[in-house]
């Protein structure tokens, strides 16, 4: 799904998603396809716990916790020294 489809289907929710076919352009992540893993209607802490467990299991996969009230993804990239790229 794309971000707009997820936003419409799950309004006012925290969404745990996995990014596919993502790439960086001008210091921003561009994510053409998101796979929904779980919906958390009010509990951000539960979303964070689930994210941590998935990330520990496989650090090569790209997971995000996003709130569906957010109009655009706007995910910036930070280098190993903590500098924002772009």
Residues 59 and 39: their CA atoms lie apart, in Å, by 21
Chain segment 11-70, per-residue pLDDT in tens: 999 999 999 999 999 889 999 999 999 999 988 999 999 999 999 999 999 999 999 999
Does a structural domain hold residue 84?
A: no
Does a structural domain hold residue 11?
A: yes
Does a structural domain hold residue 32?
A: yes
Domain count of the fold of the chain: 1
Where in the sequence is the domain holding 53, given as residue range(s)?
3-76
Q: Would you call 46 helix, strand, or coil by DSSP? A: helix
Does a structural domain hold residue 81?
A: no
Residues 8 and 71: their CA atoms lie apart, in Å, by 10
Tokens describing residue 7: 């936003």
Does a structural domain hold residue 43?
A: yes
């Amino acid at each position: 799904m794309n971000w707009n489809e997820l936003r419409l289907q799950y309004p006012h929710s925290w969404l745990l998603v996995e990014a596919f076919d993502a790439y960086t352009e001008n210091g921003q992540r561009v994510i053409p396809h998101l796979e929904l893993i779980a919906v958390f209607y009010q509990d951000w802490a539960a979303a964070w716990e689930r994210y941590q467990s998935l990330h520990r299991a496989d650090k090569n996969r790209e997971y995000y916790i996003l709130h569906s009230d957010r109009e655009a993804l706007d995910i910036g990239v930070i280098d190993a020294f903590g500098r924002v790229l772009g």
